[in-house]
Amino acid sequence: MPPYTIFYFPTRGRCEAMRMLLADQGQSWKEEVVTKETWLQGPLKASCLYGQLPKFQDGDLTLYQSNAILRHLGRSLGLYGKDQREAALVDMVNDGVEDLRRLCGHLIHHSCEEGKAQYVQELPRHLKPFETLLSQNQGGQAFIVSDQISFADYNLLDLLLSHQVLVPGCLDSFPLLSAYVTRLNTRPKLKAFLASPEHVNRPIFGGRKI
């Protein structure tokens, strides 16, 4: 049996970054797909610590909260920087990704039609910090922190790929971010995962119109 199990809805949502991480690191995992009908029945939701998914199992360890899961995998698989300084920077990047993910989630779930124009207008301001971080690390030719991949890279990549669908051309004025996405997408195991039917056929935003 695979050591990891992901319990989540049939969407990319807050689990695709951890799937990218596991695939790229050559790890196997099991998917327990939770349908809307099952979730609305109540017992599963009541059993979840915070009343929400994802739920993640690593052997006998059960975790909730997507960023806690990413950090756990980062520590377990050596994807958390080489020292405390780098780990602090990785945390900072991941918190920045979370800020933008929350804004995007609010747009998708609450105000997509009326709020999209303003979101698109303000998006460059939210992407610029990541372009700046890349420029400060080996001229943007490495990862978001240091010269080795971290869990924050997978989270950032997932967010950027989603935004390229939501706002086509959003990276055109960010050459380092654009090259970063292209570079990560060529990693063999990650490239294979991104081309797989499981990834391609999984809705980005839970089937909502964007």
Residue 184 has pLDDT above 80, yes or no: yes
Integer Cα distance of 210 and 201 in angstroms:
16
Q: Token digits for 175? A: 């050459």
Mean pLDDT within 46-61: 96
Query: What's the rounded Cα separation, in Å, for the pair 199 and 43?
Result: 28
Q: Which helix (H) or strand (E) holds 188?
A: helix 188-195
pLDDT at residue 209, rounded to an integer: 42
pTM attached to this predicted model: 0.95
pLDDT in tens, 145-180: 999 999 999 999 999 999 999 999 999 999 999 999
Question: Crossing angle of helices 112-135/151-166, nearest 10°?
Answer: 140
Residue in 135, 142, 146 with CA at minimum distance from that of residue 83 = 146
Q: Of 157, 149, 180, which Cα lies nearest the Cα of 81?
A: 149
Peptide bond into 3 cis (omega under 30): no
pLDDT exceeding 90 applies to what percent of the chain?
A: 88
For residue 78, give both structure tokens.
């050596």
Distance CA 38, CA 32 (A): 12
The first and second tokens of residue 197, run together, are 């039917």
Alpha helices in 2-111 (DSSP H): 16-24, 36-41, 43-47, 66-76, 84-110
Indicate if the pLDDT at residue 187 is higher than 50. yes
Number of Cβ atoms within 10 Å of the Cβ of 87: 17
Residue 112: which pLDDT band, with cuts at 50, 70 and 90? low
Task: Give pLDDT, residue 85.
Answer: 97
Using only the alpha carbons of the chain, give its radius of gyration.
Answer: 17
85-102 mean pLDDT: 97
Q: Give the residue among 162, 210, 170 at the shortest CA–CA distance from 15.
A: 162
